[in-house]
Structure 1
Amino acid sequence: MKCDVISLNKVPLIQKQARRLLSSMINLCMAIGPGVLALPASADEAGSRVTLTDSGLGLKSTDERFAIQLHGLIQADGAVFDQDRTELGNGTDIRNAKLILKGHVQHDWGYKFQVNFAKEDNRQLEDIFLQYRGFRPTTITVGNVKQPFSLAFLNGNRNATFMEFAMIHEALVPKRRIGLMAGLHGGSWTAHMGGFANSVKEDNSVGDSGAGIVGRGVWTPVRSQRRLVLAGLAGQYRSLGDNHKVAIKSRPGTHVTNQRLVGFGPHTGFAPITDARNVAAGDAQVAVVHGPFAVQGEFVHKRVGQKESHFDAQGGYMQASYFLTGESRAAAYQPGKGAFGAITPMHPYGAWQVALRYDTLKLNDDSMVGGREQNLTAGVNWYANRHVRFSANYIRIDAERPGGPDNRANAFAARAQLGF
């Protein structure tokens, strides 16, 4: 396989560092995909070229029918707590350590392989899918993917305004599962619908893991580089199969602690919900961006159907943010996903953002009392460039639980992030 000469004018790397990076990438690509990358259309088109741009490091055939790109995400966190009753535990955490390979084969077939080495078990397998793009703008995706439900979850933790999502995302929002999904978008709308089975960490040998459908629609009547109005609805229905236990819980605003102050299941002090048969959930979401100012909110209602009754849980958040340096979240909107991407600073010294969020989670329903928690989070972000970011969050935690201790605490958290 031959490689064309590339230009590094747009990349602030010295020549020696560039050679090392390119050599490592070429060796990796040759190891994992020599058959894919060395299939030219003809002898005249034989070969490939290395690309090193602001969007990542890659290898592409000269006819552009085959491509692979290397991406990564590293997030290092620290937090200290001023707690009331429940010990939360000061400490540090490698929140994410992701290696991502993605690209396309024969133009129309896209793929992605994402592993998170910060996870404790096989949950580290994240996005692993094949996607057909030949019916543009329609896409058909099969594999382990994010279910199309929550705006913030689809934004991704690399692009999140705060260090952690609001409590509803750990407690009520469906996560990644293996399934088949179709997506379509037009000038002012985006829609996704999919059917999903088990997650990669579930053992199918112990029984039926269940199946469900998830759909999301987004309308953007106003969309430009500086302005955006978004309104969306999402829904989920899932039969639980032979799994009759459901855990609903959430950390109090930071991943450094493993303690949950409200909820049912591990680390809560209460048993999970039993005798469950199905789960249904709905999500209403909105976002408005006007120049450097943005507001965003979601409300989720989730019902766990049991054999002779049901349990209702609900929660939501509302947040506001402002770029002191003039950037706009509208410029980062991605219509194909119906969500926001990475922020690109306008100035050599980076971008500064301040933000405030109120979120709540209510897990009390008749005799089942999982508690109620309200958090107020203030944050500041410095985007040194498109890839490096530093964040600091203050979280005021207020949790109440009938039959258990009430907790009022303050958390101070910070993060260093590299994403490429």
Structure 2
Amino acid sequence: MKPICAIALCTLGMSLTVGAQAADINNWPIKYTTSDGTEWSLYGNYQYDITDVRHSNAIEDSSTNRRKELGFTARKKDAWDALVYFDFQSKLWLDVFWRVDSKWLFGEDYGKFRFGYSKLPVGFEGVTSARADSFAELALPLGAFYETRRTGIDWAFERPHYLVNVGYYFGQDLQGDNDGQTVAARAAWTPFKSEGDVLHLGASASFEHPQSTTDGKDVYHAPAARWRARPEDGLTNVRLVDTGSLSHVDSNRRLGLEGLWIRGPLSVQGEYLQAHTTRSEGLPSYTADGYYVFGSYVLTGESRPYTAGNVNNLKPRNPWGAVELLVRYSSLDLDHGTVHGGRERDLTFGANWYLTQHFKFQANYVQVHATRLGKRQDPDIMELRAQVYF
């Protein structure tokens, strides 16, 4: 661990907390409302990470910016909203869309329609905003199977006891990659969802039909798939489990089951994900799966916020912030038939300190156990994160 950096982060946190007592640090001048009622806002998320790795020759210690996201939103209440968002660290476009409230168009509430570039709905942790992740990194099955973002149209419909989200994605991502089409859907039953009292049980599925491409040298590339995951360490490019490239892919199907229970300061969340690849040219199909489950307890008494089928960051009630303790177990199995992608099990202990509604510290300790082709690797990873979001 870099002790100077860690001390600096803690000192910054203490100074911000003291400052919050003298002024309302949550009231940032990031919004402007025009005369017609349209609200314009800055939208951003900055994260700086430090990792210390033990018992590994492949994964190195690191410290750098994890995300530098910045964009803006525009919103007219009960009518529409829009978001343009870019990550200057990875140099990737994030969400770019326009969403319309059907009641504004038709006079009746038939849900909301979104046009543009956005996340696909298969994977609870995947659709959670990166600014609101409970752990520093997504669990193993999300890292392996989540389809991230595509261009298309989706419809979301919510009622007190259920929600439905269906999308058709027909374009590449905004980096010009991932040709093909995907149909995806998510549904959840929410028998109760008041503040501090939530039960969410859901299922999701998607069917992706990737397309072949021809590069600038007129070389044909058949559709391919590759399933792999980082060891819950976002600063490394090392994957301890990896199928390698599966050629001549006809389709990829993803299935998910998800659950969330919140009762006061206690919550439990988990999901199961499966990926199935169908191949042409007489090649055998491939199936992989994984799951995670985690528990969270907020020592300061707050409850995790829940709205529209998702969770958000805690809002501290105390001038010195909110403190949350967590533990997560995740599992991923990429071995199937002649494909030896490997198996991995991670146990993560976490602590989050929400200083205000805009400042957050995270600490994770990850015990990794991975086996591939008879080789076992058991690194331990310590992660620290300082985050500013608005």
Q: How does the TM-score come out when normalised to structure 2?
A: 0.87
1:389-410 per-residue CA deviation (whole Å, 9 max, x = no partner) reads 111100000000015x310111
- Matched residue, 2:46: 74
* Separation in structure 1 between the aligned mates of residue 320 and residue 80 of structure 2, nearest angstrom: 39
- Matched residue, 1:377: 348
SS of the counterpart of 1:171? helix
Please, which of 50, 61, 64 is the counterpart of residue 93 of structure 1? 64
Deviation at 1:134, TM superposition (A): 3.6
SS of the counterpart of 1:148? coil
Q: Does 1:176 align with 2:149?
A: yes
Larger radius of gyration: 1
Deviation at 1:221, TM superposition (A): 0.5
* Separation in structure 2 between the aligned mates of residue 286 and residue 107 of structure 1, nearest angstrom: 29
Structure 1: segments with no counterpart, 5+ residues:
1-10, 19-51, 265-270
RMSD: 2.1
* Separation in structure 1 between the aligned mates of residue 110 and residue 317 of structure 2, nearest angstrom: 30
Deviation at 1:14, TM superposition (A): 9.9
Please, which of 254, 262, 268 is the counterpart of residue 241 of structure 2? 262
Please, which of 76, 80, 88 is the counterpart of residue 109 of structure 1? 80
Tell me if the contact between 1:56 and 1:69 (Cα under 8 Å) persists in the aligned partners: no
SS of the counterpart of 2:121? coil
The 1:112–1:223 alpha-carbon spacing in structure 2 relative to 1, beyond 3 Å, is same
The 1:106–1:314 alpha-carbon spacing in structure 2 relative to 1, beyond 3 Å, is closer
* Separation in structure 1 between the aligned mates of residue 119 and residue 275 of structure 2, nearest angstrom: 18
Q: Does 1:125 align with 2:124?
A: no
- Matched residue, 1:199: 173
SS of the counterpart of 1:158? helix
Deviation at 1:167, TM superposition (A): 1.1
1:28-66 per-residue CA deviation (whole Å, 9 max, x = no partner) reads xxxxxxxxxxxxxxxxxxxxxxxx9747611211231x2
Deviation at 1:100, TM superposition (A): 2.1
Please, which of 305, 310, 314 is the counterpart of residue 285 of structure 2? 310
* Separation in structure 2 between the aligned mates of residue 408 and residue 94 of structure 1, nearest angstrom: 26
Please, which of 283, 292, 301 is the counterpart of residue 326 of structure 1? 301
Matches within 5 A, 1:9-28: none
Q: Does 1:189 align with 2:162?
A: yes
* Separation in structure 2 between the aligned mates of residue 333 and residue 107 of structure 1, nearest angstrom: 20
Structure 2: segments with no counterpart, 5+ residues:
1-18, 104-108, 213-221
**Matched residue type, 2:63:** T
**Matched residue type, 1:132:** V
* Separation in structure 2 between the aligned mates of residue 105 and residue 229 of structure 1, nearest angstrom: 30
Tell me if the contact between 1:283 and 1:301 (Cα under 8 Å) persists in the aligned partners: yes
Q: Does 1:340 align with 2:311?
A: yes
Number of aligned residue pairs: give it.
355
SS of the counterpart of 2:134? coil
1:63-107 per-residue CA deviation (whole Å, 9 max, x = no partner) reads 31x2211121000001011124x4201011311111020013696
The 1:203–1:284 alpha-carbon spacing in structure 2 relative to 1, beyond 3 Å, is closer
* Separation in structure 1 between the aligned mates of residue 111 and residue 386 of structure 2, nearest angstrom: 37
Q: Does 1:238 align with 2:213?
A: no
1:296-331 per-residue CA deviation (whole Å, 9 max, x = no partner) reads 0000011011113211010010000100000111xx
**Which structure would you say has the larger RCO, counting Cα contacts within 8 Å and 6 or more residues apart?**
2
The 1:290–1:75 alpha-carbon spacing in structure 2 relative to 1, beyond 3 Å, is same
**Matched residue type, 1:193:** V
SS of the counterpart of 2:142? helix
- Matched residue, 1:351: 322
Tell me if the contact between 2:43 and 2:72 (Cα under 8 Å) persists in the aligned partners: yes
* Separation in structure 2 between the aligned mates of residue 363 and residue 225 of structure 1, nearest angstrom: 38
* Separation in structure 2 between the aligned mates of residue 203 and residue 343 of structure 1, nearest angstrom: 35
* Separation in structure 2 between the aligned mates of residue 373 and residue 347 of structure 1, nearest angstrom: 39
